[in-house]
Structure 1
Amino acid sequence: MAPIVASGATVLRDVLSGSLLAVQGRADPSRRRVVVLVVDGLGWEALHARAGHARTLMGAGARRIATGVPTTTAAALTTLATGVDPGTHGIVGYAALEPGSDRVVNQLRGFDRDASGASGLPAGWQRARTVFERAVEDGIAALAVGPRHYATSGFTREVLRGATYIGAKAIEDRLDAAFGALRAAGRGIAYCYVPELDVVAHRDGWASAEWTTLLERVDGAVRDAARDLRGGERLLVTADHGMVDVPRSAHVLLDERGLLGDVRLLAGEPRLLHVHLAPQAVGGADRWREALGTSADVLTREEAVAAGWFGAEVAAAVAPRIGDLLVASRGRAAFYPTEDVPSRGMVGQHGAWTAAERFVPLVRFDG
């Protein structure tokens, strides 16, 4: 297997933390305001394939960077917001084992509180300080701009901790709101979020006409914002992960391969399963490797940690959240326990570390 991230390469965890350094005057004394636009699901390969529909994003400043593993929104956005890897911040997948309750909890919705004020994840589950908290401590404005309905979510509260949230319905309005608020503040950083492309890709696939039409709209919003940049301002455009269109013929059903008998819990996502084995499991990784053949890389937790899948270090408190086995798709396969799983309706998927999923753009515009 190739390394997850080449040594010395720019990676997603550096983007927002580097923006703060610039505004602090440590990396770029002239920089006063930086907006980081995150276009959910915009992979480098997909962007290249639709380059004619994204002339602004594919301009001279575009380059490829690596996101982390798993290539999923909950983990990647937390990595961006904290500047550290999943092994440190603790969000290791779309769904993960919460050892205290021995339940698999959705990491995007698990922070939400019910009517009694309780949430599905314990206090301190997201373990790292955010870039926004560091900015505010230094007297620098820290903003998050996105759809209005995310303003009160638990994920926003825990992962964007320290940022002042501004809701804006339209994609174009979000960039206007981010720069307008930063100009009023004088100096600051802003995270601006566009989830719409990811939603369409899951439903129709990134190769669909609907996805391409929405990409053109995002490109137009970036073009207009870049034209309006003032001196000392910077706009960075990146993504949390890429996308693979998975045909139904590439679905692998674990029950048909005789693999569910040893499974206690399944977490992760269809392209990167976290398999928590029953105590009496026989054969372990070798049995799964034989059953899945060339469709997947199957590693034990210890092997995945040693390979740096979750960063250079994995905290002792985070390790139990990771599966006993990690099953990562090598190609277009997606792994499901049985044929009746509702998520089999998704076309675009992500989570594993193929090039289409783990490489995203980083585009810079300076005023």
Structure 2
Amino acid sequence: MDYTLEDTQRKEKLLRTVYALQVKSDATFQKASPLLNNHRGMGLVTERQVHELAEKAKVICHDLDNIRNHLFYRQDDLVQQIPNPSGRHYRGVSGIHCALDGSIYVTCEGAPRVHVFNRSGQVVQSLPCVEGKKKTFLPEDVTLTRAGMAAVTDMVNGTVRVFNHHSKFSKGEWVKIGQFSSPRGIGVDASGKLLVTDYTEGKVHSFALDHAFKVQSPHSVSDLCGPRYVCTAPEGGIVVSEECGDVKLFSHSHKLLFSIGDKFSHTFGNPAGVCADREGNVIVADEQRRKIHLFPRSGSPICLVSKGLQRPTGIACSTQGLLYVADSGDDNIKVFKYRVRPPFNADILSASTEGPNLTPR
């Protein structure tokens, strides 16, 4: 909490500024609205004045969005570090997924298993990646299907595997799904379809699974440059990171909406893990620059993690305002509190009919 005199004065100045803008805009609207609705002319208001006011309003609205965003988010607030559960023989945590109940699914480079953590960072389950009796495979990335089953990409064997808890085997079994050139990242879209990045083919495949794990309604997004990670985008689309390239957003019909680099004038080094939180913000890990940025629905990008990372790869965010980072460089899962409490409320800075209470609490 902020209790210093300087912090209190800064809070008061911000509240007074926002309130002054609100009062002035309300007063102008009340006086201008009747004239503009009923009067044929514009008085002495010129086209140039209207244009200048509109441009200034855009700047002010953008600045207010940035102020709002900086109120709601934190930077470099590391709250926990979870060591690689696979031990020193299998270094390099890579894929990570956060379930709705707060449990964390993690894969490690070269380790033939998927680890499941609880919210406290303790391993509660380990799924051995075994095909048949003895043959193992190496999971690249991990997600959960809509039915709650772990799904991984198997880049070496060019396939996707889903862990079926309801198989005839008491401990469950991995079911092979499809054949791909080089499946890397995996996610699930808003409709429950699996999303798989095909690195060498430059594609993202989407498909549904029936009860017998048969592929249904396959579709592909093409012309990508080394797609790595994929996740559900705000409003039902998908987000894809391209190695040494950009991060692209597609609609639910898989049409390109924009690239984050172009929209935000942001230059990536090597974009890796991507995730989207419940407020519709896209979060991207930059493996080369060792930073993590949040790209809001409105306003400028925010650097959530600016230090302490060696080689961030997979990332995931929870509904509790936590950001999980698989740092392959020092082989830890780092947990950051990136959102302040209370939870994000887009209307928290909406106009009020009364003046702000400037007494600090």
TM-score, normalising length: structure 2: 0.25
Which structure carries more relative contact order (alpha carbon 8 Å, separation 6+)?
A: 1
Which of the pair has more CA radius of gyration? 2
TM-score, normalising length: structure 1: 0.25
